[in-house]
């Protein structure tokens, strides 16, 4: 069942980046900081791949497999409003969603963002918040993303105690 979110079962991420994404979505500031420090120490190995997979799954879960122009635009505007300091422009969120859907892969290189990874991460969390995705389903999205990434040969940094499983 690759690329789809299956039945909700209480499970936990196995990777540092997976835990980080879940904690961002859950707004657990202390755990976000703990994971961020550890990720910085380990070099964020294959973190982008896990984030991309989780973001793609969240888009499909929240917006459907082929969201239309209006759905993407509305989501982009709502996402930009969640972060009121103007850090996130609706147009950038729209581009990141389209890239997440595989529509404009080349546009990622053209985006003049300081940190497209951060934008994807915040947009991922915003989708979870806007669509009130239950915690167990959020965890399922993250765990499925990890599995998808492991299946294609990436090796994101595992959480302590997870070494050797994968």
Measured CA to CA in angstroms, residue 65 lies from 22, 86, 112 at distances of 22, 29, 27
Model confidence over 56-84: pLDDT tens digits? 999 999 999 899 999 999 999 999 998 87
Average pLDDT over residues 7-36: 88
- Would you state the pLDDT for residue 2? 45
* Candidate ranges 65-69, 147-151, 159-163; pick with highest mean pLDDT: 147-151
The full DSSP string for the chain is -TTS--S-------BHHHHHHHHHHTT-HHHHHHHHHHHHHHT-TTHHHHHHHHHHHHHHHHH-SS--HHHHHHHHHHHHHHSTTTTS-HHHHHHHHHHHTTS-TTHHHH---S-HHHHHHHHHHHHHHHTT--HHHHHHHHHHHHHHHHHTT--PPBPTT-TT--
End-to-end alpha carbon distance in the chain: 17
- Reading the block at residue 100, the tokens are 């997440």
Tell me the C-alpha to C-alpha distance, in Å, between residue 123 and each of 42, 53, 133: 24, 13, 14
Least Cα distance to 159 among 57, 42, 53 occurs for: 42
* pLDDT tier, 8 (very low <50, low <70, confident <90, very high otherwise): very low
Q: Is pLDDT at 154 greater than 80 in this prediction?
A: yes
- Rounded distance, CA 136 to CA 139, Å? 5
Model confidence pLDDT, tens digit, residues 81-122: 988 776 788 888 988 898 888 876 666 566 666 678 888 999
Comparing CA positions, the residue from 166, 106, 153, 136 lying closest to residue 25 is 136
Which residue is listed with tokens 């799954």?
57
CA angle 139, 142, 143 (to 5 degrees): 85
């Amino acid at each position: 069942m690759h690329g789809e979110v299956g039945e909700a079962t209480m499970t936990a991420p196995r990777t540092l980046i997976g835990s980080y994404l879940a904690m961002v979505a859950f707004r657990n500031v202390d755990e976000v900081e703990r994971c961020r420090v550890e990720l910085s120490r380990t070099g964020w190995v294959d973190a982008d791949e896990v984030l991309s997979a989780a973001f793609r799954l969240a888009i499909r879960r929240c917006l459907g497999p082929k969201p239309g122009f209006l759905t993407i635009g509305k989501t982009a505007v709502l996402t930009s409003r969640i972060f009121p300091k103007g850090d996130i422009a609706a147009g950038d969120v729209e581009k990141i969603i389209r890239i997440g859907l595989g529509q404009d892969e080349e546009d990622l290189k053209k985006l003049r963002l300081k940190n497209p990874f951060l934008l994807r991460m915040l947009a991922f969390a915003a989708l979870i918040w806007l669509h009130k995705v239950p915690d167990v389903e959020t965890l399922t999205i993250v765990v499925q993303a990890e599995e998808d990434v492991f299946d294609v040969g990436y090796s994101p940094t595992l959480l302590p105690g997870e070494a050797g499983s994968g």
